């Protein structure tokens, strides 16, 4: 299928169009079968995407690329994928359904990214909890 062995990469694009400092965010580990999809950057510069790693269900994840190292007083690069909320359900439609967007960001005045998801009507707060909205 087209999503088998899919990979998600990030990198820097120069003015000349050259790509450097490429990092495979998801799908590059041969020991971890997954199919990442729908990558989106938040207004805070964080990369969110849907993948089926570990659970086999397409759930929402976030890629953390930088970390403040207080003891050394500097920023360190890392390549860490963090589950935002795990549930035994799909947060996306099948890949043969075109034009679908399974999640998006809701603008706020605070420091949180609020995310709307298509599994059911919920508000996901990126600190790993979810509030269901009764219909």
Tens digit of each residue's pLDDT (9 = 90 or more) over 53-81: 888 888 999 987 765 556 666 556 677 88
> d(Cα 77, Cα 23) in Å, to the nearest integer?
11
pLDDT tens profile 25-41: 898 888 788 889 899 98
DSSP 8-class letter at 113: P
| Proportion of the chain above pLDDT 70, given as a percent | 72
Predicted structure pTM score? 0.74
Residues 89-98: pLDDT tens digits?
887 777 777 7
What count of other Cβ atoms lies within 10 Å of the Cβ of residue 7? 13
Q: Look up residue 82 and give its DSSP letter.
A: E
What is the pLDDT averaged over residues 115-128? Answer: 64
Q: Residue 70: helix, strand or coil by DSSP?
A: coil
């Amino acid at each position: 299928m087209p999503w088998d062995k899919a990979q998600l990469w990030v990198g820097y694009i120069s003015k000349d169009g050259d790509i450097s400092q490429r990092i495979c965010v998801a799908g590059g580990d041969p020991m971890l079968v997954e199919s990442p999809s729908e990558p989106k950057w938040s207004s805070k510069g964080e990369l969110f995407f849907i993948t089926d790693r570990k659970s086999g269900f397409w759930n929402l994840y976030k890629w953390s690329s930088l970390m403040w190292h207080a003891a050394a007083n500097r920023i360190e690069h890392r390549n860490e994928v963090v589950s935002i909320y795990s549930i035994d359900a799909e947060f996306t439609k099948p890949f043969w359904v075109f034009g679908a967007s399974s999640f998006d960001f809701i603008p706020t005045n605070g420091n949180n990214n609020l995310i709307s998801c298509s599994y059911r009507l919920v508000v996901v707060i990126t600190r790993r909890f979810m509030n269901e909205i009764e219909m």
